[in-house]
Structure 1
Amino acid sequence: MSGQRCSGVHRTQMQWIDTDASGIYHNSTVIRLVEAAEAQLMTARGVRGFTPCAPRAHYEVDFETPLVFGQAVETTVWLDRVGATSMGFSFEVWGEPYDDRLRRRAAFGRYVAVHVGADADPGALSAVPWPAAWVEALTAPA
């Protein structure tokens, strides 16, 4: 992609279910937050049906600071690269000010989704090209 990256933003608050008994978020919560931001990106760009046919082939995250129960959180996902059968994304998760905590980045990372097609057999997945309409929607200027 060239120029401005398209992005999706998800804002929420850490719920009890997102935390362990100490009130600090589970590492796996980041994946849920990122997927919610990705859904915002796809909805805003008019891409329907992305998630069921775009499994993750690679996912990495660096954790910087914990999030706590009740804290507001902002997650942003950016589309970095569109290939013939895969897309690369990056993300950041920010904890908003809460009690004596300042706004701080909680986690960042990147992942790759691969297009397997809407009619893919789960036992025999193989990559297929992205629909041209999706590529156009995701690479067009905002």
Structure 2
Amino acid sequence: MTRGPAVRIERQVDWIDTDAAGHYHHSSVIRWAEAAEAELLRRVGAPDLTPTVPRVRYEVDYLDRLYFRDTALVDLWVDKVGTSSLRYGFEVTRAGHGPAARGAMTCVLVDPGTGASAPWPADLARRLGGAPGG
């Protein structure tokens, strides 16, 4: 499968990102993926899109641990552009090691006036790596 636009960001695992066991809390992965999404949308010229694409699904496989002060490399890419949906794939890696988490999140474009799903504008669908209309 051909990937659409992609981005890599770095995040240091802060104390607040860890749990009582001393490694990263599962919710940190989602925050990092969403930070990468914000950067990807900025790069494709749609920095204000986030409020109109709520998440409808997350899936994450936790593969290894990250600890306080580790560097997390977060890769995120557009996996599929549907009629009104957008699926991202992502992977979080501890610098110098293998993957710590791998997953996907699906968002749906909504009309802010109605709250109903809406089709992607053709230009935006192209910038996200898809064909208009899915």
Pair member with larger Rg = 1
Deviation at 1:26, TM superposition (A): 0.5
Question: Which consecutive unaligned segments of at least 5 residues does structure 2 have?
Answer: none
TM-score where L is the length of structure 2: 0.88
Aligned mates of 2:69, 2:28 — CA distance in 1: 14
The amino acid of 1:115's aligned partner reads: L
Tell whether the 8 Å contact from 2:72 to 2:93 is kept in structure 1 after alignment.
yes
Relative distance call for 1:90 and 1:3 in structure 2 (3 A) is: closer
CA RMSD of aligned residues (A): 1.7
- Aligned partner of 2:98 in structure 1 is 104
| 1:133 and 2:123 matched | yes
Secondary structure at 2:40 match in 1: helix
> 1:8, 1:76 within 8 Å by CA — same for their partners in 2?
yes
The answer on 1:63 being equivalent to 2:62 is yes
What displacement does 1:22 show?
3.5
Q: Could you tell me how far apart the structure 2 residues matched to 1:93 and 1:111 are?
A: 14
- C-alpha separation between the residues in 2 aligned to 1:111 and 1:3? 17
Deviation (angstroms), 1:20: 1.4
Per the alignment, in what secondary structure is the counterpart of residue 12 of structure 1?
A: strand
Find runs of 4+ consecutive structure 1 residues off by over 6 angstroms. none
Q: Counterpart amino acid of 2:50?
A: T
Partners of 1:75 and 1:120 in 2: how far apart?
33
Matched residue count: 130
Could you tell me which runs of 5 or more consecutive residues in structure 1 were left unpaired when the two chains were aligned: 98-102
1:1-142 aligned within 5 A: 3-97=2-96, 103-117=97-111, 119-120=112-113, 125-139=115-129
Displacement of 1:69 in angstroms is 0.2
SS in 2 for 1:28: helix
Q: C-alpha separation between the residues in 1 aligned to 2:79 and 2:89? A: 7
Match of 1:100 in 2: none
Give TM-score, length-normalised by structure 1.
0.84
What amino acid does structure 1 have at the position aligned with 2:127?
A
